[in-house]
Chains A and B, each alone.
Chain A
Amino acid sequence: ILNVEQSPQSLHVQEGDSTNFTCSFPSSNFYALHWYRWETAKSPEALFVMTLNGDEKKKGRISATLNTKEGYSYLYIKGSQPEDSATYLCAHHNNAGNMLTFGGGTRLMVKP
């Protein structure tokens, strides 16, 4: 995988549903994997920075896992709420310098 890829591109869920998205990235020269939350008309805000294979991080109802050997990360949202509606971006940081490459994002819409 040469690029950072996210799936699905968009997702509609009902309030209370749990959901998850995928981020795929190059597994070679790995340094860090970032997740950001981007609400409409605002700027992206960091959720997690993950560096170790097998890392799991949690912030409230949102959690993320990391597999650096196979080059993927999952973001989970438990019991989605309308305020979770946003675009979720992942970004791959390689060890060649300050390059931080973003995926295309997953746009989540939670219906009340």
Chain B
Amino acid sequence: DTAVSQTPKYLVTQMGNDKSIKCEQNLGHDTMYWYKQDSKKFLKIMFSYNNKELIINETVPNRFSPKSPDKAHLNLHINSLELGDSAVYFCASRMLAGGELFFGEGSRLTVL
């Protein structure tokens, strides 16, 4: 069973649309993250959720919103998609503060 799973794996959409990427972890972890792999292949942190509480929110446009229905899920909603949103988005989770991250396989978003 996949520990951290993201859906969809690939998403192609038009500018201006609203889309969501889902993430689920079956590891019983308390903290989940969303990272964006930028054009230079850097992993940039977007959000972190700990027990349904947003504890990090980087300088991310407010078109991006994380939603966590329970501690096993952290979904990423994006409104009014722009060309620059095209990237690979990675979900990750971990149990202990400072402990290793477990990553999903990534979701490649292409905005046309």
* B101 and A44 within 8 A (CB): yes
Q: Which of B75-102 contact A (CB under 8 A)?
A: 90, 97-102
Q: Which of B36-82 contact A (CB under 8 A)?
A: 40-45, 48, 50, 55-56
Q: Tell me the bound Cα distance from A87 to B103 in angstroms.
A: 15
Given contact pairs A98-B31, A98-B55, A43 touches B106 in the complex (Cβ within 8 A): yes
A49 at the interface (CB under 8 A from B): yes
Q: Mark A89-104, 1 if CB is under 8 A from B, else 0.
A: 1010100011111101
* B41 and A105 within 8 A (CB): yes
Residues of A within 8 Å of B42, CB to CB, are: 102, 104-105
Judged by DSSP, the binding face of A is: strand
A31 at the interface (CB under 8 A from B): yes
For residue A91, give the distance in angstroms from its CB to the closest CB of chain B: 8
* A100 and B101 within 8 A (CB): yes
Q: Tell me the bound Cα distance from A99 to B43 in angstroms.
A: 13
Tell me which of A42, A43, A99 contacts B45 (CB under 8 A): A99
Additional 19 contacts, C-beta under 8 A, given A44-B43, A97-B55? A31-B97, A34-B101, A42-B105, A43-B103, A43-B104, A43-B105, A44-B90, A44-B101, A45-B103, A46-B100, A49-B98, A87-B41, A91-B101, A97-B56, A98-B55, A98-B97, A99-B56, A100-B101, A105-B42
